[in-house]
Amino acid sequence: GAGVSQSPSNKVTEKGKDVELRCDPISGHTALYWYRQRLGQGLEFLIYFQGNSAPDKSGLPSDRFSAERTGESVSTLTIQRTQQEDSAVYLCASSGGGLAGGLYSYNEQFFGPGTRLTVL
Amino acid sequence: AQSVAQPEDQVNVAEGNPLTVKCTYSVSGNPYLFWYVQYPNRGLQFLLKYITGDNLVKGSYGFEAEFNKSQTSFHLKKPSALVSDSALYFCAVRDTGFQKLVFGTGTRLLVSP
């Protein structure tokens, strides 16, 4: 597609329920990122996928959070047993870069519109 | 560890006046620096980046940023502000050898007519 898309745009759930958030990156982009933005705060890195390499999960806040990516396309972020502190906007980004000749790409990341998650 | 600081929560400027949004960074290697803008209810949009080379970087919508290694700063500037520039601006840095971006807390720019 023309840009990164995310669904749903809004999600309201009850505490303790599981939620799945979806991200469709820009076609051809090998790198995909998930970030969390709490109200009035900056972006917090969650997880990074690069091609077939093992994902960088260093930002996931707890084992309730997990993410998968199918090849170099769609990614799903799953939050199990949601808590009120999980309420935030979850942003997905993709970039066209990747490991090439041992050098990291310096390409900018393109962001989706986000999913606003509200846990009651 | 890499970090970014945006010391101002909000910047107010009159339309037509020059604007500056401040950003300082801390990295262990060579910094790769980015500015993004976020309009209400929309995702982040890329404005400009510094990787290497000329310290003055020009970006979208008439914005530019100056990389200053000695002061570890990467301030965003525009010679003449527009009301439509009112938005939330984020500075971000990526350290050598890392892929994830570390973002500042954001600066709200308010341009008054």
Between β-strands B73-78 and B87-94, what pairing exists: parallel, antiparallel or unpaired?
unpaired
**What DSSP line would sit under A64-87, residue for residue?**
TEEEEE-TTS-EEEEE-S--GGG-
pLDDT of residue A115: 96
Say which amino acid occupies A28: G
- Widest CA span in chain B: 44
Task: Search chain A and give the residue with CA nearest B106.
Answer: A42
Give the E-state strand segments of A38-119 in sequence order: 43-50, 65-69, 75-79, 88-95, 110-111, 115-119
Q: Which of A50, A59, A108 sits opposite B46 (nearest CB)?
A: A108
Q: Within an 8 Å CB–CB cutoff, is residue A33 touching chain B? A: yes
In this prediction, residue B97 carries a pLDDT of 64
Given A42, A108, A113, which is nearest B34 (Cβ)? A108
| Token couple for B90 | 């984020």
pLDDT at B98: 66
Which residues lie closer than 8 Å to B79 by C-beta, 6 or more apart? Answer: B18, B62
Is the pLDDT reported for residue B100 higher than 50? yes
Which chain A residues are closer than 8 Å to B106 by Cβ?
Answer: 41-42
Q: Which two tokens stand for residue A113?
A: 């519109």
State the nearest Cα–Cα gap between A40 and chain B, in angstroms: 8
Measure in Å the smallest separation between the Cα of B77 and chain A Cα atoms. Answer: 19
Least confident residue range of A97-101, A103-107, A109-113:
A97-101
- Mean pLDDT throughout B88-95? 90
Q: What is the pLDDT of residues B17-65, one digit of tens each?
A: 999 999 999 988 888 999 999 988 777 899 999 988 889 999 999 999 9
Burial of A84 (0-12, 13-18, 19+ CB in 10 A): exposed
Residues in B closer than 8 angstroms to A31, CB to CB, are 99
Give the number of A-B residue pairs with CB atoms closer than 8 Å.
53
Task: Measure in Å the smallest separation between the Cα of B48 and chain A Cα atoms.
Answer: 9
- Give B1: exposed, middle or buried? Use CB within 10 Å, 0-12, 13-18, 19+: exposed
Q: Mean pLDDT over all residues of chain A? A: 88
Task: Tell me the pLDDT tens digit for each residue of A46-78.
Answer: 999 988 888 889 899 999 999 999 887 899 999
Answer whether residue A35 shows pLDDT above 90: yes
Write out residues 71-90 of A within 8 Å (CB-CB) of B. none
CA-based nearest distance B47→chain A, Å:
9
Please give the residue of chain B at the shortest CA–CA distance from A36: B103
Token pair of A1, please? 């597609």
Q: How far is CA A1 from CA A8, A13, A112, B11, in A?
A: 17, 29, 12, 35
